Amino acid sequence: MKMYKYILESVNNINWMAIIPLVIFFVFFVLMFIHVIRTEKSHIEKMSKLPLTNDL
């Protein structure tokens, strides 16, 4: 039972609304991933120790 068929019929080619978010996210994720991998190790280590540097 496609109860909302009649909504879609009144708006043509609405599927792009569901596709675009996936494309945006994919591009965003790939770029972020590449950059994270390329971050230098020394910096990563320094950052990860930040909570521990001012112990009581």
Partner 1 sequence: MNQLNMSNIDHFKYDNSIVRKFAFATMIFGVVGMLVGLLIALQLIFPALNFDSPYTTFGRLRPLHTNAVIFAFVGNGIFMGVYYSLPRLLKTPMFSKLLSNIHFWGWQSIILAAAITLPLGFTSSHEYAELEWPIDIAIAIVWIIFGINMFGTILKRREKHLYVAIWFYIATWATVTILHIFNNLEVPVSLVKSYPVFAGVQDALVQWWYGHNAVAFFLTTPYLGLMYYFLPKAANRPVYSYRLSIIHFWALIFIYIWAGPHHLLYTSLPDWAQSLGMVFSLMLIAPSWGGMLNGLLTLRGAWDKVRTDPVLKFLVVAVTAYGMSTFEGPMMAIKSFNAITHYTDWTIAHVHVAALGWNGMLTFGVLYWLIPRLYGSKLYSVKLANIHFWLATLAILFYAIPLYWGGVTQQLMWKQFTPDGFLKYPNFLETVTQIIPMYSIRAFGGFMFFSGLFVMMYNLFKTMSKSSFISEEAASAPPLPKKYVSPKGGHWHRVLERKSILLTLLSVIAVSIGGLMEIVPMVWLDSNTPKISTVEPYTPLELEGRDLYIREGCVGCHSQMIRPFRSETVRYGEYSKSGEFIYDRPFLWGSKRTGPDLHRIGEKYSNSWHYNHMLDPQSMSPGSIMPAYAWMLYDDLDTTQIAEKIRVLQLLGTPYPTDFDKKALSNLKAQALEIADDLKSSGIEQERLEDKEIVALIAYLQRLGTDISKPSINK
Quickly list H helices, 1-56: 5-10, 16-38, 41-48
Sign of CA dihedral 33, 34, 36, 37: positive
Residue 34 touching partner 1 (CB under 8 A): no
CB of 27 to partner 1, least distance (A): 11
By rule CB under 8 A, what count of residues binds partner 1? 40
Nearby residues of 6 by Cβ (< 8 Å), 6 or more positions away: none
Residue 23 touching partner 1 (CB under 8 A): no
Give the interface with partner 1 as residue ranges (CB under 8 A): 1-4, 6-8, 10-11, 14-15, 17-18, 20-22, 24-25, 28-29, 32-33, 35-40, 43-52, 54, 56
